[in-house]
Structure 1
Amino acid sequence: MNGSAPIDLGKTAETVADAALSVEGVAALHGGEFGEVGTYLPGKRLTGVVIDETGCNVHISVAYPANVVTVAQQVRDAVAKVIDVPITVTVGDVSHPDDQGAPLIEERN
């Protein structure tokens, strides 16, 4: 993408995903509000990473109580080590271990 040799988009997307997930405080890759963020690979879909001619977008969920800004910057730094294009990191959610199975809206009487 930097004008030299063509890249293997699938392998690069997986490498970007691995780099993002290696950052402490990243709970998961995030598919966007409607699940629209992802890269289609042979036989599977890689959620949370999109690479195109304009750059690389990585969408993540941050694990509470990690600092969202710090985690996003660390993801950007980690991904920059594996791909030489503009990188945008979007935090789509903050997850808490106690949220597993919790209702989305709290009902009050």
Structure 2
Amino acid sequence: MTDRRGVVAKRAENLTPGVPYVRGWVRARRGAETLARQLAALGLESDFPGLSADVNVFGDGLVSLGSIRPEAAVLLAELIASGLAAEMADDAAHTPGEHEHRNAPAA
């Protein structure tokens, strides 16, 4: 498996000397643990039983969600969209508008 950016390549089952597999796996483990904590806080850990860390042939860390129900995928997408909407609203609330900027007194 390789996406258009080459990020997700074949899993590393045979190790090649000089490839930093452990570093990539540790990064993936941290990411998986962070996601697991957030899912647990929402009571959703049972919806993602296959959540795990892995590494590909290039030593890039991978976080796998495993097989999940379609409803869990929809819920995750909704949570991401809600978070992005909240972030954009927060950014808009803290960004001065053009009118405020143009009429600000000169320093």
TM-score after normalising by structure 1: 0.30
Q: Going by fraction, where is strand more abundant, 1 or 2?
A: 1
TM-score after normalising by structure 2: 0.30
**Bigger CA radius of gyration:** 2
Q: Going by fraction, where is helix more abundant, 1 or 2?
A: 2
